[in-house]
Structure 1
Amino acid sequence: MSTLTNMRKRYLSDPAFKMFKKVLPPLSDTEREAMEAGSVWWDGELFSGSPNWNTLLNYPKPSLSDEEQAFIDTKLKTLLDMLDDYQIVQEDRDLPPDVWEYLRKEKFFSLIIGKEYGGLNFSAHANSTIVTSIATRSLSAAVCVMVPNSLGPGELLSHYGTKDQKDYWLPRLAHGDDIPCFALTGPEAGSDAGGIPDKGVVCYGEYQGEEVLGIRVSWNKRYITLAPVATVLGLAFKLHDPDGLIGNKTDIGITCALIPADHPGVEIGERHDPLNLAFMNGPTRGEDVFIPMDWVIGGQDYVGRGWRMLVECLSAGRGISLPALGTAVGHLTAKTTGAYAYVRKQFGMSIGNFEGVAQAMGRIGGYTYMLEASRTLTTSSLDMGEKPGIVTAIAKYHMTEMARTILNDAMDIHAGRAIQLGPMNYLGHHYFGMPVAITVEGANILTRNLMIFGQGATRCHPYVLSEMEAAANPDAEQGAKEFDTLLSKHIGFAIGNVSKSLLNAFSGSRFNRSPVSGETAVYYRHLSRMSRALAVAADFAMLSLGGELKRRELVSARLGDVLSHLYLASATLKRFEDEGRQQDDLPMVHYALQHCLHQCGVAFDEVLSNFPRKGVGRLLRTLLFPLGIRYQAPKDEITVKIAELLMTPGAHRERLTHMCYVGEKENDPVAIMERAFIAMHGVKDIERKLAKATKSGEIPRKVSLTEKLQIALSAGIVTDQDVEKMHNADQLRQKAIQVDHFAAAQFKKGSLQPGKAA
């Protein structure tokens, strides 16, 4: 060993090793399993301080197989035509029987089940596309489809089931003979799945007339989607073996079992009322219910492994289902709000021409582009075989929050048109529904404050997890040796990032490389700067706060915001390249990237201003942003341009809103608005003639449209054909801006009578 190495070990790595053991947060068993269960993907590049942008651009483009596309073109379209969301939510409070039967028959519940068991075995991208399309039509129907294809018996059995379990259950699930649900959440355990109080005890009991080894389990679960109609219940509980019947360990841990809903002792069938939506959701209970050991998913070999199973499956589901709902809101609000803002007139002009309305429309368009980009990039990772827990947490949190924001914008623009429920209202049920998505699979507050950076800082950092493992090595000498090697690399990594951050600050990121030319090149350079700044800030936060970082949720959340917006920006750039650099889409791209960089700047400013160690916060500001944080929110001209694009028919608008369902029926609410929008665009030249004549005094200002047209016809300003075309368009416009109204007798006192609390 060289003298230099000896000195480094004696004066640097050995003292650091001892300090590391003290300050680093200890990893609990559940935390370790959560980290080991997932994989590091593009999030690792963003955490590295030097992301390889060619790696991002070389990821496969999202695509559908011929079989998947045919399913979407035929069976999905048929389903969408069958759905009447007003009837589902306000009248029946359930999907119609023919829709339930169609979902079963056409295997909408078996998108992820293998073909050898009768399922469709579709890609994550196809799964997401199907759910997104359904959700633009009916959130209630979308939830009913997405749950069996997300966390549930189908996925758990496919990954972990025994051969007998797969051979029996998967064909029944694939053909709709059984409807599954999965019971995880309870009154004392919502986002903290590891804290579930539901208990099972290994024992012998009677089953089918014989005494067999099994489990006596008690549970009290709530918020379980599909529970009221489920025929088979997936159940998570903590397993104990006080008599040592299956081993030497008394507390075995979280275990997952599959229980037929008609099994004696299973209480199921009651319903919750989730914000007046109509998807099936309810409680389930059981007290000392005996189940055979072979009902444990995976059999006896998988007892105590439920947490690992859940983390892996939650990660995938979190990246498909809930982001799909958020993306659906983008497609729906962009299409309908753009149309409404053109059709609805105030003070003689379309309300979308008012800058205040245009600002909200710009946000809708920019966010929608970003939502679709994030959806496709995230599902691409899953189809590549990755299980990127941090990426899917980012997608779940930010895509549902963006959906909530643009729903508020759409409601604001539609005003009274959006708040009167009825068959004409295409926004109201989505407005009720987004808070549901925000609370599922970990409430968003928890996801942002604890998961994204809390796990990402350790999992995605190139050295920290390995250093923690070295520090925890029971062989202290070997651990110290490994730690010394890692620390040496870590120090070089940190010094490089600090020096490059200073260079970026004084050069305006000009020396960073971009894989492309043109208007988007500058964004790659600035995102590389933000990546380096995040790497430096993460190192300082972990070094100065140690185990306290777990409790400093605001620091963790804001650093997570930086990582998240780096990911959202990456997805936007990837989509732009994948789609052939469509120039009409540049306003949305500029909006998304300027928004993400601005949000990174806001997050950094808040971290540095509120850093618990004030001196560390000031030092970081000097190292990272010595000239200030200068990223600004999207420019006004960009938001106005996006508003204009949303109010103009064309390929650009179809790309942005292509998954929004527009029915062919006369009374389809989105189709009514779209027909009026297209018709009004068809008469814009006639409107210009009338406006010009009104301005010159040839036509009086304060007269009806019919009178204006008659005067203009007499004066030779318009033709008979123009008059007919204008009347037809205005009739469609008048119909589109109407709201539903009902006879007073139709309003009756609600008949819901809550039962006992569950």
Structure 2
Amino acid sequence: MTALLSILVAIAAIWVLAYIGAPLIAWSAAVVVYFLALAVVGAIGWPGLLLAAVVFAPILVLFNTTSLRKKLVSKPIFKGFKAVLPPMSDTEREALEAGSAWWEAEMFRGKPDWQYLLNFKRTQLTEAEQSFLDNETETLCEMLDEWEITAELKDIPEDAWNYIRNNQFFAMLIPKEHGGLGFSAVAQSTVVAKIASRSLTTAVTVMVPNSLGPGELLVHYGTKEQQEKWLPGLADGTQLPCFGLTGPEVGSDAGALPDTGIVCKGEYNGEQVLGMKLTFSKRWITLAPVATVIGLAFKLYDPEGLLGDPDKTDYGITCALISSDEPGVEIGRRHSPGAFMNGPIYGTDIFVPLDAIIGGPEKAGGGWRMLVECLSAGRGISLPALSSAASKVAYRMTGAFGRIRRQFKVPVGKFEGVQEATARISGLNYKMEAARIFTASGVDQCTPSVVTAMAKYHMTEWMRQIINDSMDVHGGRGIQQGPRNYLFSSYQSIPIAITVEGANILTRSLMIFGQGAIRCHPYVFPEMEAAREDDLDAFDTLLWSHVGHSVNRAARTLTFGLSGAITAKAPVAGVAAPYYRQLERFSSALAICSDVTMGMLGGELKRKELLSARLGDVLSELYFATATLKFFYDEGEREEDIPHLHYVLQDSLHKIEQAFDGFFRNFPNAFVGGAMRFLVFPTGQYHKGPSDTLINVLGDAIMEPSSFRDRLSANIHLGTDARSATGRMEKAFNKLVEVEPIYDRFAKAVGKGEAEGFTVDDQLASCVKNGVLTDAEASQVKEYDDLRYDAILTDAFSKEYLQDPVNHQHEDHRLESRVA
């Protein structure tokens, strides 16, 4: 009995020390106290105590004496670590070092600082930003017609182009001191989203110069002379920029750039100067057909050592800025990904001075880091904004359509099969708006790289899901192209959003966890740097801190799993508290599973893309779930938000468990995979996702006018004219809400055969005659029914229009005939 009790005490002590993350000295003291206590109570005799001292004293001395530990333990491990450490290219290193870790690091490390999350101030629009959104942006939206742009003109109308230039839509990120607007990332996101809700073509046109482009590169890295030369023109719209990165041989793998710059001497503007000959072939470059300023990425070579280092020939990826009218530049042709300006740029042996390098000659070879830092920030603004806009429009219009359109005398939005889709539309919109604001606010305060990759990948995928669900609900109404269709341009743009600024497949399988694991982990990257610099002292400190970190996360994970996470912390009380606890549990699980995986697989993890993707899914869902909790908190924990909070968090926790399950099942070492499964799921998996009841609640809510519905679809452009795509649906929906009880009474009478006639007019007259409706009520029903019918119609075109839309662009496409 005494022996069993002693073992239980030892287990409890180990568990407690591991759970609280006790330092080495505390573990050492605990060992000494434990064996002394056993001797005092007679559990072991003095010979037993002596034996324990013989066994444990050398170990304690070894690990508590730094010089001995380094020499006998850390040094051999250090040697093995360096031997298996995978090689890292310059581009990989620069990608890892670029930007900063932010909230995702808290989730990755397994012990999130919830108070930081709650105290984090999301960016609020300034008075000037709000005014620009309400006035200039609204005016621009009123000038646009996406059908005219995409089907007829294949371009933005000239008056809209001029308005964009004259009102500095291309200069939102350029600071005020350089003549720009100096808007926050949240303001840029909100403006782009509002434009996108009216015209995705125009939004893409506006967003690119405010994302990865010459303006941002000049602001961050340009010399004073370059800023003075280019920024005023970029700010006032007299200069239009594009940036040439991708080409026939290079997409996501920028390290494979075939474009070159050869340092040499040559003549420029009548003078002999040191410069470079540029040869490049760029494709898929947005704004290229109309650009006056071209940013270029290429590999710089100095075969003659003219830059001053005779031993250095290859300088690597470099960025330069040149005028589009440089002799030999071929520009102006268009690709056809849609109506937005996109095309190729070519050049062979184009000589420009070295001061064309962004940042000057000192920045030769610094282009990749520039690109990664700027692209990572822009990735968190532009495409999430487009995704948000498309999704908000789909949310509002699908809810309205679901209430207006009836099948079998029931609003289609009341069918449970439809509600499965509309609930998903609602829940993902809530999650997306939370993520958009939180991520853009993060960009305003630092340069996060991993979270912006997550935002780009997941928000474009959510848009794909939302638009597909909306198309399913609309049926034929969503398929037919024309000015009435508010979904089709979003549907067409999905492949563009999925592909640009990092293809989604590679972002998920290579970047999110691959970059996040090293960038966010408190010890891995410093350990790699210590190995690279052959710094045993630093490695020793990092290694044993890392071991303590892993032991602590393992103990926390098992404890949370056994207790259902009730021992985890929640920074709030109420409905959200259990979700904070569960997320802390899975944050700790991600930390220990990541450590085991990197320890077991090492550099092989690069090739295990499916495993990496699943851990990336866990990290992403942790991030977006906490962003949703933050949004709920910042919005005042409103009662009307609670069902959507439940939906998002229950779905996220279910997806986290699915990702872990797939990871454990496919781990190369089945025993280790099973051990990790037991650690994370000691009592099994139990997060099943949203219930049918919750789905019904969201499915009903999307069809109801409410302050929640208005908040979730805020800052989009909705037509006020009944002839606009969204306007006619809004007008019909609002009228239905007003007259629905009367309309239901009319529909019931028609269904029972109590209203005579074959037309709506005859049936209404019969209802008035029979006392079912008053004259005033019949007039209201007639007004709504005309709006309803017009709202569900699709466009029909003449043969002449389809053959020559430019010369027939003002044709009325409405279908005039109708039946009851």
What TM-score results when the alignment is normalised by the length of structure 2?
0.89
Larger radius of gyration: 2
Q: Would you say the 8 A contact 2:755–2:767 is kept in 1?
A: no
Q: Distance in 2 between matches of 1:664 and 1:685?
A: 25
Residue 731 in structure 1 maps to residue 786 in structure 2? yes
Residue 457 in structure 1 maps to residue 517 in structure 2? yes
Q: Distance in 1 between matches of 2:536 and 2:679?
A: 31
Q: Would you say the 8 A contact 1:331–1:660 is kept in 2?
A: yes
Q: Would you say the 8 A contact 2:329–2:350 is kept in 1?
A: yes
SS class of match (2:575): coil
Q: Distance in 1 between matches of 2:572 and 2:764?
A: 53
> Superposed, which structure 2 residues align to 1:687-698 within 5 Å?
687-690=743-746
Q: Would you say the 8 A contact 1:252–1:304 is kept in 2?
A: yes
Q: Distance in 1 between matches of 2:195 and 2:133?
A: 11
Cα deviation for residue 706 of structure 1 reads 4.0
Q: Distance in 1 between matches of 2:232 and 2:354?
A: 22
For residues 237-267 of structure 1, what are the alpha-carbon distances to aligned partners after superposition, in whole Å with 9 as ceiling and x for unaligned?
Answer: 0000000000221001111111100110101
Cα deviation for residue 694 of structure 1 reads 6.6
> Superposed, which structure 2 residues align to 1:571-720 within 5 Å?
571-690=627-746, 699=754, 705-720=760-775
Q: Distance in 2 between matches of 1:605 and 1:375?
A: 29
For residues 576-607 of structure 1, what are the alpha-carbon distances to aligned partners after superposition, in whole Å with 9 as ceiling and x for unaligned?
Answer: 11111121121211111111111111110110
Aligned to 2:814: none
Residue 562 in structure 1 maps to residue 562 in structure 2? no
Q: Distance in 2 between matches of 1:144 and 1:185?
A: 18
Q: Of residues 336, 361, 374 in structure 1, which corresponds to 2:422? A: 361
Aligned to 1:305: 366
Q: Of residues 484, 498, 501 in structure 2, which corresponds to 1:424? A: 484
SS class of match (2:284): strand
Q: Distance in 2 between matches of 1:701 and 1:320?
A: 58
Letter in 1 for 2:647: Y
SS class of match (1:683): helix
Q: Of residues 315, 338, 344 in structure 2, which corresponds to 1:252? A: 315
SS class of match (1:662): coil
Aligned to 1:273: 336
Q: Of residues 85, 106, 131 in structure 1, which corresponds to 2:192? A: 131
> Superposed, which structure 2 residues align to 1:13-162 within 5 Å?
13-162=74-223
Q: Distance in 1 between matches of 2:644 and 2:443?
A: 26
- Identify the range of structure 1 (514-523 vs 82-91) with the bigger mean alpha-carbon deviation: 514-523
Q: Would you say the 8 A contact 1:334–1:368 is kept in 2?
A: yes
- Tell me: CA distance 1:698–1:238, structure 2 relative to 1, closer, same or farther (3 Å): closer
Q: Would you say the 8 A contact 2:722–2:731 is kept in 1?
A: no
SS class of match (2:630): helix
Cα deviation for residue 12 of structure 1 reads 4.2
Aligned to 1:395: 455
Q: Would you say the 8 A contact 2:553–2:588 is kept in 1?
A: yes
Q: Distance in 1 between matches of 2:102 and 2:385?
A: 20
Q: Distance in 1 between matches of 2:759 and 2:75?
A: 87
For residues 153-182 of structure 1, what are the alpha-carbon distances to aligned partners after superposition, in whole Å with 9 as ceiling and x for unaligned?
Answer: 000001111111111100000011110000
Q: Would you say the 8 A contact 1:181–1:230 is kept in 2?
A: yes
Aligned to 1:756: none
Cα deviation for residue 708 of structure 1 reads 4.4
- Identify the range of structure 1 (463-472 vs 123-132) with the bigger mean alpha-carbon deviation: 463-472
Q: Distance in 2 between matches of 1:704 and 1:368?
A: 40
- Tell me: CA distance 1:339–1:51, structure 2 relative to 1, closer, same or farther (3 Å): same
> Superposed, which structure 2 residues align to 1:221-620 within 5 Å?
221-248=282-309, 249-274=312-337, 277-384=338-445, 386-474=446-534, 479-620=535-676
Q: Would you say the 8 A contact 1:645–1:652 is kept in 2?
A: no
Identity %: 52
Cα deviation for residue 4 of structure 1 reads 3.2
Q: Would you say the 8 A contact 1:128–1:324 is kept in 2?
A: yes
- Identify the range of structure 1 (30-39 vs 547-556) with the bigger mean alpha-carbon deviation: 30-39
For residues 29-73 of structure 1, what are the alpha-carbon distances to aligned partners after superposition, in whole Å with 9 as ceiling and x for unaligned?
Answer: 211111111101101100111111111111112310000001111
Q: Would you say the 8 A contact 1:272–1:283 is kept in 2?
A: yes
Cα deviation for residue 548 of structure 1 reads 0.3
Q: Distance in 2 between matches of 1:508 and 1:704?
A: 62
Letter in 2 for 1:361: T
- Tell me: CA distance 1:179–1:620, structure 2 relative to 1, closer, same or farther (3 Å): same
- Tell me: CA distance 1:741–1:497, structure 2 relative to 1, closer, same or farther (3 Å): same
Cα deviation for residue 709 of structure 1 reads 3.3
Q: Would you say the 8 A contact 2:275–2:351 is kept in 1?
A: yes
For residues 491-532 of structure 1, what are the alpha-carbon distances to aligned partners after superposition, in whole Å with 9 as ceiling and x for unaligned?
Answer: 111111111111111111111111111111111011011101
Aligned to 1:5: 64
Q: Would you say the 8 A contact 1:666–1:672 is kept in 2?
A: yes
- Tell me: CA distance 1:27–1:701, structure 2 relative to 1, closer, same or farther (3 Å): farther
Letter in 2 for 1:392: T
5+ residue gaps, structure 2: 1-59, 807-820
Cα deviation for residue 8 of structure 1 reads 4.5
Cα deviation for residue 10 of structure 1 reads 5.6
Q: Distance in 2 between matches of 1:516 and 1:244?
A: 63
Letter in 1 for 2:689: A
Q: Distance in 2 between matches of 1:20 and 1:558?
A: 25
Q: Distance in 2 between matches of 1:725 and 1:665?
A: 19
Aligned to 1:201: 262
SS class of match (1:148): helix
Q: Would you say the 8 A contact 1:205–1:214 is kept in 2?
A: yes
Cα deviation for residue 717 of structure 1 reads 3.0
Q: Distance in 2 between matches of 1:707 and 1:636?
A: 42
Letter in 1 for 2:572: V
Q: Would you say the 8 A contact 1:25–1:550 is kept in 2?
A: no
Q: Distance in 2 between matches of 1:692 and 1:216?
A: 79
For residues 380-416 of structure 1, what are the alpha-carbon distances to aligned partners after superposition, in whole Å with 9 as ceiling and x for unaligned?
Answer: 11111x1110000000000000000111001111111
